[in-house]
Structure 1
Amino acid sequence: MPLLLVLDGNSLLHRAYHAAAFEGMLAPDGSPIWALRGLIGYLARAAAHLNPDAVMVGFDCPVSSARRTSYPLYKAHRPDKPGDLLAQLAVAPELLAAAGVCTVVPPAYEADDVLASASAAARAAGWQSVLMTSDRDAFALIDATTSVLRVRNGGFDEAVLVDEQALPGLYGVTPAQYRDFAALRGDPSDNLPGVRRFGATTAKKLLAAFGTVEAAWQATLADVAAAVGDHAASFFTDPSAREVVNRNRSLMTMRHDLALPPLAGARLPLSYVTMRQALRARGINLGPSLWALVGGAPPPPSAVAEDETAGWKPWVFRGGLSARRDPTPGQLSLF
């Protein structure tokens, strides 16, 4: 079954920015490039390990937000981004597109919506998909054909590949329950408070007992209290809790119907010459590590040692796809 790799450009560029800010890598013209280089590195490493048939990168719309129009407090608490981060966010879609990577910036929507729409398109076409992001929201998209490669603190070496079987062990909920779980708990990073007294543990207990929040609302107060305790039950049965959950679910629901380029336009391999020229124009010099994106053979370790990617460590899958996607010893030796 073909595999589509989809990257959340915003979340991964943010993570790359903070991970290498101390290096402060600049292009010859003085512009910051370390987050851009890190984003390309994430893409190259994931391609080397997953062997995808196509790749796509989504970014948030920089000029408008349908969610903020619906709920003005959405992400309103976030401080202004540093100028050197904004500069790299602004040029990232253009750089990737110039390098030949299928890049999507949906009007009024976010990279999360690109992940959801791309996974839906892959499923409809009979493909598998892996969604690469540092955000947990994508866990709601997991199903029999969709997995999430979540990049955590520590970068790619600490990434976790979460599939339909792995998610319950990590969070105690199924993918179908994850949106209710997140709506109950809230998301401080998006300025979305949850139901009072409902952290992750209490939300998990409620869903374990009733399956969905709707089923819990239809249960008796005594039954809810038996599952989560009297105090949490009193807040959950208050009418304001329904408003909070419905608001959060609405804002957390990702669009599955965005207009995307056809999968044929996202196919690998990319042109090595085009990629190198586009990256070098920004002062980013990557060579052998791009092999999986451009249809090359894994280079010998001595060649990779001369590349800027030297020092990357092997990565081990947690959860998984089919056996043919597992990294080979030759692939592992590159990093």
Structure 2
Amino acid sequence: MPSAPLLLVLDGNSLLHRAYHAGAADGFLDGSGRPVWALRGLFGFAARAAAYLRPDALIVGFDCPQNSARRADFAGYKAHRPAKPADLTDQLAAAPELLAAAGVCTLVPPAWEADDVLASSAAQARRHGWRSVLMTSDRDAFALIDETTSVLRVRNGGFDEAVLVDAAGLPELCGVTPTQYRDFAALRGDPSDNLPGVRGFGAATAAKLLAAFGTVDGAWQALDGGAAHLIVEAVGDRAAGQFAEPEARAAVERNRRLMRMRTDLAVPELAEARLPLDLAVVRRALRERGINLGPSLWALTGGIPPQREPQDEDPIPELRPWVFRGGLSGRRDPTPGQLSLF
């Protein structure tokens, strides 16, 4: 039987930041001297992902630039981040309009973030019997993985380091299941969002606690029920002592609340996000910003794969075997659902 249709959802902020830093050395400008290298890179991410995944629909989400419901909840949320460079701010501001002009379904939810667009879009796909792939460089999206939802994570090193992670592969990658991931992240904390975790709890210790108790709530029940020795057996004396502190519970509760992504945002009907895009419309929108992606647009616009020539400036890359890299010792075979895509 044919597989369910596929929705590809991009975290516009995350990927545009990646593209900005990857292309900053080139500093590509349009004819008016405006920076466009991150815009070009963001569209390139969409085009190359579409070339491999062949999605039936595409949505791109962005953080609301004016207001933040999470910052209203916790003033320290992302408060430590320095001001963005002007050339990055300009491209972030221009990205939703550029994508919309190209015919891409683009969402900037008032007071919420691209993560919430990913979560709500995945929920929309699930309700309609679709599969979804969420493309981002943030690990937060791992909490959204289930039997119909996978995460295409773009990491340091560019396309060669991108991995597609599904429900079968996440335990090998992080040591926890998708339903445990939010507790895992809350225990560990998220320095990038200025959310401290529990002292003494890195990834390995958090995974051990969840392996023993299933959830943080289960560990708290053991602690409150006089079974503190079970916490010690799971994570050792020092970490168990930190976990028992009142401020640890407060930190985890705050982190879980702020890390919870909304699944009920108003997102368009999937028919409104359908591919293919109109090639003439896409090229006109891109050329107005001095961007020309050439044949790499084929998967977004209903074309056929171009013949690869050695001299091509925009070739379609080949699949390679996936391996763990960066911080994990040794080389391992790929786990199910994890492949090097770029």
Please give the TM-score of this superposition, normalised by the length of structure 1.
0.93
Tell me if 1:61 matches 2:64: yes
1:218-229 → structure 2 map (5 Å cutoff): 218-219=221-222, 220-229=227-236
Preserved CA contact (<8 Å) 2:9 2:58? yes
Q: Secondary structure at the match of 1:297?
A: coil
| Structure 1 equivalent of residue 123 of structure 2 | 120
Query: Which one-letter code corresponds to 1:110 in the other structure?
Result: E
Q: Distance in 2 between matches of 1:94 and 1:114?
A: 17
Aligned-partner Cα distance in 1 for 2:144–2:75: 25
Q: 2:289 & 2:260 partners in 1: Cα distance?
A: 36
> Residue 319 of structure 2 corresponds to which residue in structure 1?
315
* Equivalent position of 2:305 in the other structure: 298
For the 8 Å contact 1:161–1:320, the answer to whether it is kept is no
The equivalent residue for 1:50 is 53
Fraction of identical pairs, as percent: 69
- Partner residue, 1:19: 22
Aligned partner of residue 25 in structure 2, secondary structure = coil
Does structure 1 conserve the Cα–Cα contact (< 8 Å) formed by 2:186 and 2:197? Answer: yes
CA displacement 1:104-132 (0-9 Å, x = unmatched): 00000000000000000000000000000
1:204 corresponds in structure 2 to 207
SS at match of 2:262: coil
Query: Which residue number corresponds to residue 133 of structure 1?
Result: 136
User: Aligned partners of 1:305, 1:86: CA distance in 2, in Å?
Assistant: 34
Task: Determine if the alignment matches structure 1 residue 105 to structure 2 residue 108.
Answer: yes
2:314 aligned partner, one-letter code: T
CA RMSD in angstroms, aligned pairs only = 1.8
* Residue type of the alignment partner of 2:306: P
Q: CA separation in 1, counterparts of 2:294 and 2:208?
A: 50
1:93 maps to which residue? 96
Deviation of 1:156 (Å): 1.7
Q: Assess if the C-alpha contact under 8 Å between 1:151 and 1:160 holds in 2.
A: yes
1:152 is paired with a residue whose SS is coil
Instruction: Please tell me whether the aligned partners of residues 291 and 297 of structure 1 are also in contact (alpha carbons under 8 angstroms).
Output: yes
Amino acid at match of 1:57: V
> What CA distance in whole angstroms lies between the structure 2 residues aligned with 1:29 and 1:264?
36
- Residues 107-160 of structure 1 show CA distances to partners (whole Å, capped at 9, x for unaligned) of 000000000000000000000000000000000000000000000011122100
- Residues 1:183 and 2:179 are matched in the alignment: no
Q: 1:122 to 1:320 in 2, by over 3 A?
A: farther
Find out whether 1:265 has 2:272 as its counterpart: yes
C-alpha contact 2:201 2:239 (8 A) present in aligned 1: yes
TM-superposed deviation, 1:316: 3.6
State whether residues 143 and 179 of structure 2, in contact with CA within 8 Å, keep that contact through their aligned partners in structure 1: yes
Q: Is 1:249 the counterpart of 2:249 in the alignment? A: no
The number of residue pairs the alignment matches comes to: 323
Structure 1 runs, 4 residues or longer, greater than 4 Å off: 317-322
Contact 2:103 2:278 in 1 (8 A): yes
> How many Å separate the matches in 2 of 1:97 and 1:203?
41
Q: Is the 8 A contact 1:160 1:317 kept in 2?
A: no
Gaps of 5+ in 2: 323-334
Change in 2 beyond 3 A, CA 1:316/1:120: farther
TM-score normalised to structure 2 length = 0.91
SS at match of 1:294: coil
- The yes-or-no answer on 1:142 pairing with 2:145 is yes
Q: Assess if the C-alpha contact under 8 Å between 2:198 and 2:242 holds in 1.
A: yes
SS of alignment partner, residue 160 of structure 2: strand
Instruction: Identify the residue that residue 29 of structure 1 maps to in structure 2.
Output: 32
Letter in 1 for 2:195: L
1:33-72 per-residue CA deviation (whole Å, 9 max, x = no partner) reads: 0000000110000000000000000000000000000001
The residue number in structure 2 matching 1:287 is 294
Q: Could you tell me how far 1:249 is from its partner in structure 2?
A: 0.2
Distance change (3 Å), C-alpha of 1:98 and 1:124: same
Question: 1:320: Cα distance to partner?
Answer: 5.9
User: Any unmatched runs of 5+ in structure 1?
Assistant: none
**Corresponding residue of 2:331:** none
User: What SS is found at the alignment partner of 2:75?
Assistant: coil
